[in-house]
Amino acid sequence: MSRTRPTGLLSGMDEAARLTRAGRLAEATSLVQRLLRGEGAAATATPPDPTILEGEFERLDAAPGPEARSAASDSAARNRDRPDGWSPGARSKKAVRTGLGETLRGLAARLRPMGLHGTGAPRPAAEPLPDGASFVTESFSGASGTRAYKLYVPANRGDGPRPLVVMLHGCTQSPDDFAAGTRMNAFAERHGVFVAYPEQPASANAQRCWNWFKPEDQRRSQGEPDLLAGITRRILRDHPVDPGRVYIAGLSAGGAAAAIMGEAYPDLYAAVGVHSGLPAGAAHDLPSALAAMRQGGSGAAGGAGAGHPVPTIVFHGDRDTVVHPQNGDRVAARATAAATGLGMEVGRGEAPGRRSFSRTLHSDPSGRTLCEQWVIHGAGHAWAGGSPAGSYTDPQGPDATAEMMRFFLEHRLGSASA
């Protein structure tokens, strides 16, 4: 994606706002999506893509009713715009939410000169690889299709089979972007861990989001879960990976996909990391996806679909305006629903120069932690403790990468067979 402001973008946004005021919401949504892809306003119309919900579409709502549209005066719109982020229950009764119109009015002002990747600052160059390490692109093809992935092979491989972490990027991201932002390769090198970064192509989703809300992409041996499991098994076959120490994690849409993978393949993954994501079963179509992102996945906190609970670590900012923070609670609830006799311990902390957090541990009678939930105070929709070399990162947060790696290496499958 270009890092300069697209020509005519702001004028295009004005046209999108005009279409919204006229009640032509589908056309306005399609126009904004074309502009964000770098296409002109006069490009051939395409159906609105629901998965643009990430990034700049922080407040996308369902289409407003007639009463909301009639109340959408310019003065009311100014009262509704809240650049300071999420504030549950703080909206005045006079401020009527108008869905897409609210998004469009604030969007142009929030576009950054260097692009739409979550930071306007030029990004540092990627760190050089250690001697003996590699970070190369591979491809997997199976019954459900083909996906490319990047694989980090550490120089520090030690003796015997090594762990593997599968990392699922968020919308608009790429494997390189996600690797740079999370710094997972540096931690993998330290611990002698393989890391795979499957890539979602634009042909599967216009914004490169994993399709966590589609029923066909939520089931074992079907769709994207089948592809991701296939990539994991290919690496197990081709590299000295310990099948008892395979883990999967993701951000946002990737976090939701990781939660699905943990439930669909409890025999493959020893632990799961969900950062700013949603629980498995949070949605089954576009309307339920919108509802889950706005207010939490209703009905998704029930018992896990897996035969046994999979250890899960959860991170979520309590001021996330893209994926409602309640989704973090629901991920934790679903991860612990099938377990009995769990104890709960809540702690709080704050490192100098970093955000404060609350951490809840759900442990079994033997002391084994089944779920670890981090709520990061004041944080939005970004990888905690990440590097500005990647998109959607919050360097002020506690280090999610370090904590995930620590959590993962504390767990292994009960059986070594994958």
**pLDDT for residue 7 is more than 50:** no
240 residue type, one letter: P
- 87 vs 278 pLDDT, higher one: 278
**pLDDT for residue 161 is more than 70:** yes
**pLDDT for residue 33 is more than 50:** yes
**pLDDT for residue 11 is more than 90:** no
Q: For residues 279 and 335, what is the distance between their CA atoms, to the nearest angstrom?
A: 9
Q: For residues 78 and 194, what is the distance between their CA atoms, to the nearest angstrom?
A: 50
- 235 vs 22 pLDDT, higher one: 235
Mapped onto helix, strand or coil, the DSSP state of residue 260 is helix
Contacts of 50 (CB under 8 A, 6+ apart): 213, 286, 289, 290
Mean pLDDT on 141-167: 96
Q: Which two tokens stand for residue 337?
A: 């629903």
Q: What is the pLDDT of residue 297?
A: 64
Burial of residue 153, with CB atoms counted within 10 A of its CB: 0-12 exposed, 13-18 middle, 19 or more buried? buried
Indicate the range of 80-89, 283-292, 294-303 predicted with least confidence: 80-89
Indicate the range of 50-54, 172-176, 242-246 predicted with least confidence: 50-54
DSSP state of 273: E
Nearest to 288 by CA among 280, 278, 279, 297: 297
**pLDDT for residue 149 is more than 90:** yes
**pLDDT for residue 145 is more than 60:** yes
Mean pLDDT on 191-210: 97
Tokens 């099938």: give the residue: 338
Indicate the range of 4-18, 190-204, 349-363 predicted with least confidence: 4-18
Nearest to 209 by CA among 179, 176, 180, 174: 174
| Residue 61: pLDDT band with limits 50, 70, 90 | very low
Mean pLDDT on 212-233: 97
Q: For residues 239 and 194, what is the distance between their CA atoms, to the nearest angstrom?
A: 9
12 residue type, one letter: G
**pLDDT for residue 3 is more than 80:** no
- 279 vs 29 pLDDT, higher one: 279
Task: Note the pLDDT tens digit of each residue in 39-60.
Answer: 555 543 434 333 334 433 333 3
**pLDDT for residue 352 is more than 90:** no
Mean pLDDT on 6-22: 58
**pLDDT for residue 67 is more than 80:** no
Q: What is the pLDDT of residue 180?
A: 97
Mean pLDDT on 137-162: 96
| Residue 36: pLDDT band with limits 50, 70, 90 | low
Q: What is the pLDDT of residue 308?
A: 74
Q: Which two tokens stand for residue 53?
A: 């919900």
Which domains occur in the chain, in start order? 9-110 (no CATH), 134-409 (3.40.50.1820)
352 residue type, one letter: P
Q: What is the pLDDT of residue 159?
A: 87
Mean pLDDT on 190-207: 97
Task: Note the pLDDT tens digit of each residue in 108-128.
Answer: 333 332 223 343 345 556 678
> Could you tell me what percent of the chain has a pLDDT over 70?
67
Q: What is the pLDDT of residue 339?
A: 87
| Residue 26: pLDDT band with limits 50, 70, 90 | low
| Residue 246: pLDDT band with limits 50, 70, 90 | very high
**pLDDT for residue 139 is more than 90:** yes
| Residue 291: pLDDT band with limits 50, 70, 90 | very high
Mean pLDDT (the chain, rounded): 78
Q: For residues 198 and 206, what is the distance between their CA atoms, to the nearest angstrom?
A: 16
pTM of the model: 0.74
